[in-house]
């Protein structure tokens, strides 16, 4: 029986501008505002696919959070009505962000839609998100997301096949007749696709021997925390099934709609469980992932914390021991602007191109597509390579394990040896979550005024007996080296003559209010200083940042909500 397409009249909303990584709002917003989800999906299909919409194919998946099933069903009904020919959907709608990128590339679809608010809490009172990825497997670039935003502002109707029913739990393809046209929904096992790919990239045997112990080497006791996000099934299949880890090496592997009531955010605050477990001294390696599996936190023995900026630099320094890079060769490296510059020092020594891009993974895609970029990362616990076009939490863990197997060093040895060779880039980020928007905007305006005044250059700031002279001050503006597109206002930077930096940005992933991010970096070549605590070393710069910005006075916040 043919299914009918209905056209439903709707009114635009003015707040559907995609942020750093898709549209993120409270679940209640999607649920309670009439056609809010439908509008955004229609705008995504119209502007995201453009004149390719008829007959195109998309991958659809999500991190399993509350409202994901409803949204998936809506997407299916609307894609059918909009003339797409096929959807590849994860079993039960569960697909990690990196696996979705992998599937778009493997099946050469026209892109995909990811249903996640990543590290934001889930559940009826939590957040939900919708993100469009393009045919290269990566988050849509700004030109596309701006187009989607424009479409949301002028939308007057959406198309839907209301009577189309699907069963997300049944693998295989089903064909539907949409007013005489064929539409196919295929439920796929993305865990399998992703696992196959990881086997091509890494030497699983050597990682297996590392975990299980071999040739006189004792086993490496690992602990991976999936934080009740989407990663559980991937960890079970790959790390336990293929690499021989035991059940006790993994925790929180059952995806939950509300992530057990926690922030599925792998950092020292929200993954404190993992930190406390590792402090007991029983494990040599620990890692946690975020809700959608694109972030990772790496810990060594006794919960030795690896900053994401250091993780990136150590990977850059050792990439050649991973089979994938033996085949492709190592091209350039990149980091987001606020990420500490440890990797830049590796690039210099190895003679590789180094790129600094704005915050958000969408800025790495063009460089990868152009064959200029192999490895990149963000200070926000994102690490990845050109094997896909998203950051990839489990890839980062496997890369670390491969390097540990190859070098026969511990996590701590690898990091401290790295500092000895290159010096240490101390880094910290202070998050002031959910501030009022007014004062946060005033603070950014004041900072913008400050950096545009010529007197800032050579100005000296002192605190706690340390003095710093301003060498450069600006609001980071990026010109994409490939398509020459320009992205302005990506963060206020104050860079001092000794390369230390203070950076201010407002988050683009929050669902309400304003989250201020303050990033601090200082470099130390002297080995005697390397064991010091980052909070101690960076204290003078933190105090200078607070003084310059008047953050406490303006927002009323004395302390950050999260320190990483």
Residues that bind ligand VG1 (CB under 6 A): 20-21, 118-119, 290, 294-295, 336, 359-361, 378, 380, 382, 507-509, 517
- Contact partner at residue 26 from Co ion, ligand VG1, none, CB < 5 to 8 Å by partner kind: none
Tokens of 272: 């404190």
- The residue from 56, 96, 101, 118 that is catalytic is 118
Query: How many residues can be counted in the chain?
Result: 564
Question: Which C-beta is closer to Co ion: that of 263 or that of 424?
Answer: 263
Closest distance between Co ion and the C-beta of residue 433, in Å?
A: 16
- Contact partner at residue 360 from Co ion, ligand VG1, none, CB < 5 to 8 Å by partner kind: ligand VG1
Which residues lie near Co ion (CB under 5 A)?
118, 290, 292, 294-295
Closest distance between Co ion and the C-beta of residue 64, in Å?
A: 13
Question: Which C-beta is closer to Co ion: that of 294 or that of 378?
Answer: 294
- Contact partner at residue 305 from Co ion, ligand VG1, none, CB < 5 to 8 Å by partner kind: none
Distance CA 281, CA 465 (A): 37
Closest distance between Co ion and the C-beta of residue 380, in Å?
A: 9
Question: Which C-beta is closer to Co ion: that of 39 or that of 509?
Answer: 509
Closest distance between ligand VG1 and the C-beta of residue 380, in Å?
A: 4
Question: CB within 8 A of 202, min separation 6: which ones?
Answer: 322, 323, 324, 398, 399, 402
Residue nearest ligand VG1 (C-beta atom)? 118
Query: Which residue, among 391, 396, 365, 394, has the nearest Cα to 378 in the 3D structure?
Result: 391
Question: Which C-beta is closer to ligand VG1: that of 223 or that of 503?
Answer: 503
Tokens of 214: 């071999």
Distance CA 389, CA 365 (A): 6
- Contact partner at residue 380 from Co ion, ligand VG1, none, CB < 5 to 8 Å by partner kind: ligand VG1
Name residue 324's beta-bridge partners.
none
DSSP secondary structure letter of residue 9: E
Please state, in angstroms and as integers, the Cα–Cα distance from residue 217 to each residue in 213, 409, 553, following that order: 5, 11, 56
Distance CA 454, CA 420 (A): 38
Closest distance between ligand VG1 and the C-beta of residue 111, in Å?
A: 16
Closest distance between ligand VG1 and the C-beta of residue 503, in Å?
A: 11
Distance CA 72, CA 62 (A): 8
Question: CB within 8 A of 32, min separation 6: which ones?
Answer: none
Q: CA angle at residue 380 from 462 to 482, to 5 degrees? A: 100
Distance CA 89, CA 309 (A): 34
Question: Which C-beta is closer to ligand VG1: that of 3 or that of 440?
Answer: 440
Distance CA 238, CA 207 (A): 11
Name residue 474's beta-bridge partners.
493
Question: Which C-beta is closer to ligand VG1: that of 425 or that of 509?
Answer: 509
- Contact partner at residue 20 from Co ion, ligand VG1, none, CB < 5 to 8 Å by partner kind: ligand VG1
3-state secondary structure 349-413: HHCCCEEEECCCHHHCHHHHHCCCEEEEEECCCEEEECCCCCCCHHHHHHHHHHHHHHHCCCHHH
Question: Which C-beta is closer to ligand VG1: that of 20 or that of 416?
Answer: 20
The DSSP H or E segment spanning 521 is: strand 514-524
Residue nearest Co ion (C-beta atom)? 118
Closest distance between ligand VG1 and the C-beta of residue 306, in Å?
A: 17
Question: Which C-beta is closer to ligand VG1: that of 374 or that of 383?
Answer: 383
Distance CA 456, CA 551 (A): 19
Beta strand 466-475 with 478-479 is unpaired
Other beta carbons within 10 angstroms of residue 73's beta carbon come to 15
DSSP secondary structure letter of residue 93: E
Across 30-39, b (16+ Cβ under 10 Å) vs e yields: beeeebbbbb
- Contact partner at residue 21 from ligand VG1, Co ion, none, CB < 5 to 8 Å by partner kind: ligand VG1
| Active site (annotated) includes residue 118 | yes
Closest distance between Co ion and the C-beta of residue 101, in Å?
A: 12
Active-site positions? 118
């Amino acid at each position: 029986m043919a299914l009918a397409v209905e056209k439903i009249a709707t009114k635009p909303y003015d707040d559907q501008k995609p942020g750093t990584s898709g549209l993120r709002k409270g679940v209640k917003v999607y649920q309670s505002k009439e056609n809010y989800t439908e509008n955004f999906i229609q705008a995504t299909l119209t502007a995201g696919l453009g004149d390719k919409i008829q007959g195109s194919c998309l991958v659809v998946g999500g991190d399993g959070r509350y409202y994901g099933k409803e949204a998936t069903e809506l997407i299916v009904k609307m894609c059918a009505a909009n003339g797409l020919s096929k959807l590849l959907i994860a079993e039960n709608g569960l697909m990690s962000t990196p696996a979705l990128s992998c599937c778009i590339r493997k099946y050469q679809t026209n892109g995909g839609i990811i249903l996640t608010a990543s590290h934001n809490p889930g559940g009826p009172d939590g957040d939900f998100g919708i993100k469009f990825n393009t045919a290269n497997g990566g988050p849509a670039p700004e030109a596309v997301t701006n187009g989607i935003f424009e479409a949301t502002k002028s939308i007057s109707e959406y198309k839907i096949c209301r009577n189309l029913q699907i069963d997300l739990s049944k693998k295989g393809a089903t064909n539907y007749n949409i007013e005489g046209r064929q539409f196919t929904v295929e439920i796929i096992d993305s865990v399998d696709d992703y696992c196959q790919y990881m086997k091509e990239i890494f030497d699983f045997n050597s990682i297996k021997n590392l975990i299980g112990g071999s040739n006189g080497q004792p086993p490496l006791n690992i602990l991976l925390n999936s934080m009740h996000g989407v990663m559980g099934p991937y960890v079970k299949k790959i790390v336990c099934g293929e690499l021989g880890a035991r059940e006790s090496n993994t925790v929180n592997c059952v995806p939950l709609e509300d992530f057990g009531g926690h922030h599925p955010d792998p950092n020292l605050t929200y993954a404190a469980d993992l930190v406390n477990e590792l402090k007991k001294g029983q494990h040599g390696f620990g890692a946690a992932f975020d809700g959608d599996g694109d972030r990772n936190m790496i810990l060594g023995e006794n919960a030795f914390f690896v900053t994401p900026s250091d993780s990136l630099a150590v990977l850059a320094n050792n990439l050649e021991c991973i089979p994938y890079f033996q085949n492709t060769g190592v091209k350039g490296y990149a980091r987001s602007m606020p990420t500490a510059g440890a990797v830049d020092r590796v690039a210099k020594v190895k003679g590789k191109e180094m790129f600094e891009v704005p915050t958000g993974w969408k800025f790495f895609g063009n460089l990868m597509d152009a064959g200029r970029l192999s490895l990149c990362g963000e200070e926000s616990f994102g690490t990845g390579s050109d094997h896909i076009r998203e950051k990839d939490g489990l890839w980062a863990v496997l890369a670390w394990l491969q390097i540990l197997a190859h070098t026969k060093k511990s996590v701590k040895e690898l990091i401290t040896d790295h500092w000895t060779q290159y010096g240490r880039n101390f880094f910290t980020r202070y998050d002031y979550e959910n501030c009022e928007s007014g004062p946060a905007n005033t603070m950014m305006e004041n900072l913008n005024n400050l950096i545009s005044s010529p007197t800032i250059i050579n100005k000296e700031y002192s605190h706690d007996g340390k003095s710093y002279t301003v060498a450069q001050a600006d609001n980071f503006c990026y010109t994409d080296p490939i398509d020459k597109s320009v992205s302005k206002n990506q963060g206020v930077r104050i860079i001092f003559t000794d390369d230390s930096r203070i950076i201010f940005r407002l988050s683009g992933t929050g669902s309400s209010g304003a989250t201020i991010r303050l990033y601090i970096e200082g470099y130390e070549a002297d080995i005697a200083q390397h064991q010091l605590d980052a909070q101690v070393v960076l204290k003078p710069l933190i105090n200078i940042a607070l003084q310059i910005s008047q953050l406490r006075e303006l927002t009323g916040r004395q302390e950050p909500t999260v320190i990483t």
